Amino acid sequence: MKHVLLAVGLAFAGSAHAAAAPNADIEKATQQIQQVVHDFQAGIIKKDRALLASLFYPGSNSWFSVATAPAYRAMQQKFPGTTRVHGGSYEDFIGFVTGNPDPQEEKFSNVMIHTDGNIAAVYFDFVYLDKGKLNNQGSETWQLLNTPDGWKINSIIYTMDPGVSKKD
């Protein structure tokens, strides 16, 4: 009976240890992803092409903006026939940031990170400033991959609302 109780006790101790390790891995992954978020913001302010490019999975090109309903209506009035969804790439964005002599900044709030340690989703609200003035605002989501070279952004989708009220 002592051997059975010892075996059961060891089995529970082993599973408690196994359960603790993934949580530590998730916490470590979350911290690493938080650093990617920080580096992204810093790269914009510094106009650091190399830093920004290093945050993306090489060759990924999933980059879309979706106009809010009020922004889309305003765009339709100004540019009839325009579409609500616009594609791009991280290379285009990096070129925009580094090629613009004016100060640029993207501020994030309500950042939420969900990860299993292998893949992740980051969702947040943002305000993009050009020369300290509102250029765009809305919500943004990233999908990331944990690669041998660290966490890399694979795709970005964000709201396009250049100062138009977010309410319909």
pTM score, whole prediction: 0.83
CATH T-level assignment (fold) for domain 2-160: Nuclear Transport Factor 2; Chain: A, (3.10.450)
Say what the pLDDT of residue 163 is: 77
Torsion of Cα atoms, 9 then 11 then 16 then 18, to 10°: 160
Give me the amino acid identity at 28: K
Query: Mean of the per-residue pLDDT values for the chain?
Result: 87
Q: Which pLDDT score is estimated for 19? A: 46
Q: What is the pLDDT of residue 4?
A: 43
**Tell me: the pLDDT tens digits for 71-110?**
999 999 999 999 999 999 999 999 999 999 999 999 999 9
Distance of CA 155 to the CA centre of its chain: 8
Rounded Cα–Cα distance for residues 87 and 58 (Å)? 17
